[in-house]
Amino acid sequence: MKPYRAPGWLPGGQAQTLWPLLIKPKPIPLRRERWETPDGDFIDVDHLDGPGESPLLVLFHGLEGSARSHYALSTAHACTRLGWRLALPHFRGCSGELNRRPRAYHSGDSAEIDWILRRLQRENAGHRVHAAGISLGGNALLKWAGEQQQAAAAVVTGVAGICAPLDLAACGHHLAKGFNRIYTRHFLDTLKARSAARLQHFPGLFDEMRMHRSRNLWDFDDAVTGPVHGFAGADDYWTRSSAKPWLRKIAVPALVINPRNDPFLPASALPGLPDVSASVRLEQPATGGHVGFVSGSFPGNLDWLPQRILHFFRTEIA
């Protein structure tokens, strides 16, 4: 497959990141299924059904994403054309309804990834199950694969992580600088609103004033994400949840795509060959932004990323 090339009319990582919001694919009918979690909560999983013998692609979304995110829609359209089935699990609270338990989701939530994938594997026994993750979902998925090592092969054929914030500290501090702060403000608006609603059900869960005063992701994760999910604070959360240290332990075929102009993660923090196992294929194109990958003539399309993911699982793994 040819390496990604950004079209000349759409220069820069910021433009490539934001443009997909303007050319978002049309929605596609999906079947929603609610799963009860082992701890008495729930998640919603949206399914694109297809022939029962066809492979199943599981796609984990990014921070504050959902099955309505542009990359999820473009992947659903690509799976439809190929005749594949697709499962789009929503992390807790991301399907349009507040979850029941105090916890939400986070970048290192590999235990949730494990539970979801093992259930889908059991339900699709005898069929190929592939797993991909975007941004936060990619980080959690790659961390899971590294933790599981050879055991992951009993669950999935391989994994793909796209624009994963592999070094959460580098990502968090990078998003606090310059124009990148526009993404931080966007995330904080929705994270604060959802956290405030959760606090109505669980008074005292975290320091409400600190949450409202958060001006960057470190502030928010130190006040909310860390304490709610058992971390000592933002630094502890970022250190223990980053997937980068786990890449050298991955034993299943893995594709890790990180554009070098991704405004979320500086190129200096990207892994090199000494940081990964022989099972990991690193692709670090010069362009692509953060889950942008706009291609084609104006106004462009979002076909490149789902085609790259599907090509990997169809032809590049044993």
Counted domains in the chain: 2
In the structure, what pLDDT confidence band is assigned to residue 171 with cuts at 50, 70 and 90?
very high
Q: Which residues are catalytic?
A: 135, 262, 290
Residues 219 and 230 both lie in one domain: yes
Residues 29 and 78 both lie in one domain: yes
Residues 196 and 79 both lie in one domain: no
Boundary of a domain, candidates 210, 241, 272: 241
Tell me if 7 is assigned to some domain. Answer: no
In the structure, what pLDDT confidence band is assigned to residue 4 with cuts at 50, 70 and 90?
confident
Handedness of CA 109, 110, 111, 117 (dihedral sign): positive
Boundary of a domain, candidates 241, 274, 303: 241
pTM higher than 0.95, yes or no? yes
Residues 117 and 145 both lie in one domain: yes
DSSP state of 178: G
Residue pair 305/74 in contact by the 8 Å Cβ criterion: yes
Residues 231 and 143 both lie in one domain: no
As a whole number of angstroms, the distance between CA 143 and CA 90 comes to 18
Residues 138 and 189 both lie in one domain: no
Residues 50 and 196 both lie in one domain: no
**Exposure of 65 by Cβ count < 10 A (0-12 exposed, 13-18 middle, 19+ buried)?**
buried
Residues 78 and 148 both lie in one domain: yes
Give the range of the structural domain holding residue 133, as residue numbers without chain letter.
13-166+242-315
Residues 75 and 215 both lie in one domain: no
Residues 158 and 172 both lie in one domain: no
Give me the CATH number covering residue 303: 3.40.50.1820
- Please name every residue paired with 257 in a beta bridge, in sequence order, or none if there are none: 162, 283
In the structure, what pLDDT confidence band is assigned to residue 318 with cuts at 50, 70 and 90?
low
In the structure, what pLDDT confidence band is assigned to residue 259 with cuts at 50, 70 and 90?
very high
As a whole number of angstroms, the distance between CA 166 and CA 154 comes to 24
